[in-house]
Amino acid sequence: MNFQQWDNLLRVMNGERLKEKPAGFIIDSPWLPGWHKVPILDYFADSGTWFNANRKAVETFPEVMFLPGFWSEFGMCTEPSAFGSKMIWHENDLPHADKIFNDVSEFGKLIKPNVRTDGLLPFVLNRLVRNEPGIESIGHQVKFAVSRGPLNIASFLMGTTELMMGIAMSPEETARGLAVITDFIIDWIGLQLETFSSIEGVLILDDIVGFLGETEFEAFVLPLLKRIYSSFSLKVNFFHNDAYGLITAKYLDEIGINLFNFSYNHSLTEIRKLAGNKISLLGNIPPLEIMANGSEEDVKKSVKAALDSIEDHTRIIWSCGGGMPQNVSNANINAFLDALKDS
């Protein structure tokens, strides 16, 4: 993000009204390679290709806050790789991390990786370090430390179904494994903060928390997320969960989250009611149905419907209800921005 965008983000989160309605999108490997017309494998393997794709995005749409901004990632493989997951790569498909546990008792004996040396983590940081001069030369900075959340990482290490079964049938072993992953995330965020003095925010992404009922959420999610966010004193505590999010929304303030990206299946009004007025919201146009597969007119109608759905527009950054999906065109992004300007 550039300095003006960061300032605008903080102003929105402070409850101020900007002259223009703010737009922001989470962008990473599902969207950028195809939009930049390069193979997905090249995007991951070549640092210059990664940088050029991200630079092209911020220069093509200078009025958009792209979050977290120059995100150095290897799809869902980033964090699982540190635990020893086998990574499967394709030229034009997103990579996949294979599970490493077949039994929850093994998961309970999980050993915390070294974030300085293990898996793809050194490559994530090295890519950013090497490209930081280029990022700063166009007026941007590395503003966010980023990690997948505890349940998201666990779902790759042992499988989503197995994780849900572990929570229900073997809660003690599952809790031990999740505690180790949480310690790992804190180390990983801390190393990013140590490496880049410009970081002032953290983004945690975890859709799997939306698969739990409230009792399980309180036991297996609430204490872990509180521990992660309370370990750092940052201006923006950003959380992404575009699965079921009504339970999550009720606990955002208690956890310490102040910016929330949620599913388009939830209205802005119901999330605002549950989250309270202190939480800034990022959403909530349907990503696939509208942004990727809809016409320009569909996009404009959806943006207008979102604007009309809630009376108070403070602490809202208009976006997708989730990350930017594959195949979203310039025309549809421009239609989104035009609809905001015309409102």
Residue-wise pLDDT for 124-169, tens only, equals: 999 999 999 999 999 999 999 999 999 999 999 999 999 999 999 9
- The pLDDT tens digits for 83-117 are 999 999 999 999 999 999 988 999 999 999 999 99
- The pLDDT tens digits for 283-312 are 999 999 999 999 999 999 999 999 999 999
Q: For residues 214 and 244, is the Cβ–Cβ distance under 8 A? A: no
Q: Whole-angstrom Cα distance, residue 123 to residue 116?
A: 10
Residue 343 confidence (pLDDT) above 90? no
Q: For residues 315 and 13, is the Cβ–Cβ distance under 8 A? A: yes
Average pLDDT in the chain = 97
The model's pTM is: 0.97
Paired residues of 317 in beta bridges: 282
Backbone φ, ψ for residue 146 (5° rounding): -135, 140
pLDDT band at 57; cut points 50, 70, 90 = very high
Beta-strand pair 201-205/236-241: parallel
Residue the block writes with tokens 């597969």: 293
Domains of the chain: 3-342 (3.20.20.210)
Identify the pLDDT of residue 102: 86
- The pLDDT tens digits for 231-250 are 999 999 999 999 999 999 99
For the chain, give the percent of residues with pLDDT over 70: 100
Nearest C-alpha neighbor of 22 from the set 317, 238, 260? 317
Distance of CA 155 to the CA centre of its chain: 16
Count H helices and E strands in the chain, helices first: 16, 10
